[in-house]
Chains A and B, each alone.
Chain A
Amino acid sequence: MQFIIGVIFFVVVIGVLDARLPWPRLRQKKDVR
């Protein structure tokens, strides 16, 4: 149970909050058309 709670909390809750911080942008691979 702790594992499932931990995954949801750290991945989803903390992950979403962290994503709103101005970290250096991740380089996305561009589509080659």
Chain B
Amino acid sequence: MAEITTEEGRAMIAGHFGFAALVKSRERQAPLWALMLATAWLDIVFVPLFAAGVETITIVGRPGGYGAGIIHADYTHSLVGAIALSVVFGLAFGWRWGSRTAIVLGLVSFSHWVLDLLVHRADMPLFPGHDLNQFRFGIGLWRYLWTAASLELLLVAMGAWLYWRAARAITLEDDKARQRARLVSLLILIGGIVVLGLDVSGFGG
């Protein structure tokens, strides 16, 4: 069994943000910043737990490499933990923004677990404390670097494109707003590609 280390592996980042932009194109009343925050919520909670040594990463490939870790994140990335955190996130905004937006934000938060399900190396348990020898979720696309990276790139590209289509539709009569919409769409695309590039290349620590 590999030694559990605190060395950081590189996980899916850009793809989650691409998915949030995609949702924005369908749920136009939901603020994009809240959707972006929702899609990263499980990892945001993971960071302090990782720093405290509560959740850890076992490196199984190139140290610091893309998808090179088995992530022991039983509180944030177990099925029950992800549902609980997503409900908390939805409720935190729902009291102010209404039930529909709360549900959308909660589902976007949970989409993080669903997308991680595709790439994680069978390391996501059913609930915290789930026996290590029992079944864990994770299809393991990280074993196929370019397949996983292509999936993320596709999410970023689709998110930027659908966001642009939706933003263009609401800025038909306002050139300045349309220029801003174009800028945001490009930033989603370019930012996603840069973050994915840093992730895959291992550049930047």
B198, A2: Cβ atoms under 8 Å?
yes
In this complex, the interface size class of chain B, counting residues with CB under 8 Å from chain A, is 35 or more
B33, A23: Cβ atoms under 8 Å?
no
The interface residues of chain A, by DSSP majority, are classed as helix
Contact with A along B58-83 (1 / 0, CB 8 A): 00000000000000000000000000
The reply to whether the CB of A32 lies closer than 8 angstroms to some CB of chain B is no
B150 to chain A, nearest CB (A): 18
Q: A2-B13, A3-B13, A3-B47 are in contact. Are A15 and B31 (CB under 8 A)?
A: yes
B204, A26: Cβ atoms under 8 Å?
no
When distances are taken between beta carbons in the complex, the residues of chain B under 8 Å from A16 are: 33
Find residues 1-20 in chain A having any chain B CB closer than 8 Å to their own CB. 1-7, 9-20
The reply to whether the CB of A27 lies closer than 8 angstroms to some CB of chain B is yes
Please report the C-alpha to C-alpha distance between residue A23 and residue B181 in the assembled complex, in whole angstroms: 11
Give the number of chain A interface residues (Cβ < 8 Å): 28
When distances are taken between beta carbons in the complex, the residues of chain B under 8 Å from A4 are: 47
The reply to whether the CB of B126 lies closer than 8 angstroms to some CB of chain A is no
Please report the C-alpha to C-alpha distance between residue A16 and residue B184 in the assembled complex, in whole angstroms: 10
Q: A14-B187, A23-B28 are in contact. Are A3 and B36 (CB under 8 A)?
A: no
B173 to chain A, nearest CB (A): 10
The reply to whether the CB of A29 lies closer than 8 angstroms to some CB of chain B is yes
Segment from B94-102, B109-117, B131-139, B140-148 that makes contact with A:
B94-102
When distances are taken between beta carbons in the complex, the residues of chain A under 8 Å from B32 are: 14-15, 18-19
Please report the C-alpha to C-alpha distance between residue A19 and residue B184 in the assembled complex, in whole angstroms: 10
B185 to chain A, nearest CB (A): 10
A13, B205: Cβ atoms under 8 Å?
no
The reply to whether the CB of B171 lies closer than 8 angstroms to some CB of chain A is yes
The reply to whether the CB of B195 lies closer than 8 angstroms to some CB of chain A is yes
The reply to whether the CB of B40 lies closer than 8 angstroms to some CB of chain A is yes
- Give which listed residue, B13, B167, B195, B198, contacts A21 with CB less than 8 A: B167
Please report the C-alpha to C-alpha distance between residue A28 and residue B100 in the assembled complex, in whole angstroms: 12
B33, A19: Cβ atoms under 8 Å?
yes
11 contacts between A and B (CB under 8 A): A2-B198, A5-B198, A6-B14, A10-B191, A14-B32, A17-B183, A24-B28, A26-B98, A27-B98, A29-B97, A29-B98
Q: A7-B37, A7-B40, A12-B33 are in contact. List 13 more A-B contacts (CB 8 A).
A: A2-B13, A2-B199, A3-B13, A4-B47, A6-B14, A11-B37, A11-B40, A14-B187, A17-B184, A18-B33, A21-B180, A22-B174, A25-B29
